[in-house]
Structure 1
């Protein structure tokens, strides 16, 4: 390039325009664009994959099994099992002189349908206990929580009951109950009792 061309600004412009028209420069520009396009596509693919994995993870966390605290919260399961077992032992144990105490205990641990069923049944039991001098001792031998949420529990309970009548040999019988309990004011109340 001559010294005149170096001083002439228009001469440089012509040279740049000639360079832009060079076919090899077009290949260079497309080669520079390709990594950007590939990076954008990979970013979109990663975001889409992340969204799908997040949605599937939510579905796994929201299954009925994970909502059942009996499978995940050992402390709450132990507490409800203990409370219900203790309550059943109290309300199903009585003797000729202790029916009033048993009835009072029932009002402290039973509610709703369970309390109504118990009141209807206990009237008959009270009479039999006095007439026959019947004593019933109930012990929970095994109980398990089948379903537990923050405020309700379903349990399967196995009981051993010893019946004693004056002048007779005590007899032992086993029973199996389904129990529904509700957490109210920090205490577990038995609201439904069924036999299986």
Structure 2
């Protein structure tokens, strides 16, 4: 009797099954290569997007992240506005001097033109103006420039008349010079 491979219980090699290193192994290598390629491309895309996010102007805005600088600019601008927008008929020269020290650029020019007229009227009409910053918020802060939105309450008092109050809103630009924030532009809103 002759025995065959089937009779012994050993499987005969399948003619369709490739030998080691055949199709199955090749598919696994291709799948692994594609996975690596997708990971590299995905990682590169994420790095590119992260760079874009860091390069936007919003990323350079320290208004929400640098609380110390934000507090300093808010305090300096609030103090300046209180000094340059408040006066008495007897001390308009003190207000004008404060403006020369605390304002720069466009704000200094605008103020000089406006206050020249207001200072004369304040003496003639015995007008006292008191300005108080109610709220100031920094909308943009870079290393040496800040933009703020400021809400003011102003009270005007003429001699012999009742005081009148008015609210005001300003957009202010300030620049850091010598450790202090100077106002460089003021726009009424």
Question: What is the aligned counterpart of 2:43 among 38, 50, 53?
Answer: 50
Residue correspondences, number = 173
TM-score, length-scaled by structure 2: 0.80
Residue number among 60, 65, 68 corresponding to 2:61 in the alignment: 68
Q: RMSD between aligned alpha carbons? A: 2.2
User: Which region of structure 1 is more displaced relative to structure 2, 46-55 or 30-39?
Assistant: 30-39
SS of the residue corresponding to residue 63 of structure 2 reads helix
Distance in 1, matches of 2:122 and 2:38, equals 76
The equivalent position to 2:113 in structure 1, one of 114, 120, 139, is: 120
**1:184 corresponding residue in structure 2:** 177
**Higher normalized helix content (fraction of residues):** 1
- Give the alignment partner of residue 28 of structure 1, picking from 13, 20, 26: 20
Cα pair 1:156 1:176 within 8 Å, conserved? yes
Aligned counterpart in structure 1 of residue 135 of structure 2, from 142, 156, 178: 142
Deviates more, 1:33-42 or 1:51-60: 33-42
TM-score, scaled relative to structure 1? 0.78
The structure with the largest alpha-carbon Rg is 1
| Cα distance in structure 1, aligned partners of 2:165 and 2:21 | 93
Separation in 2, partners of 1:112, 1:44: 56
Q: Provide, for residues 61-117 of structure 1, a one-character-per-residue CA deviation record: whole Å limited to 9, x for no partner.
A: 333433322233332222211111110000011112211111111112100110011
For residues 25 and 112 of structure 2, the distance between their equivalents in structure 1, rounded to whole angstroms, comes to 86
Gaps of 5+ in 2: 1-14
Hey, what's the Cα distance between the residues in 1 that align with 2:41 and 2:177? 45
Partner of 2:165 in structure 1?
A: 172
Q: Which runs of 5+ in 1 are unaligned?
A: 1-22
1:107 and 2:103 are equivalent in the alignment: no
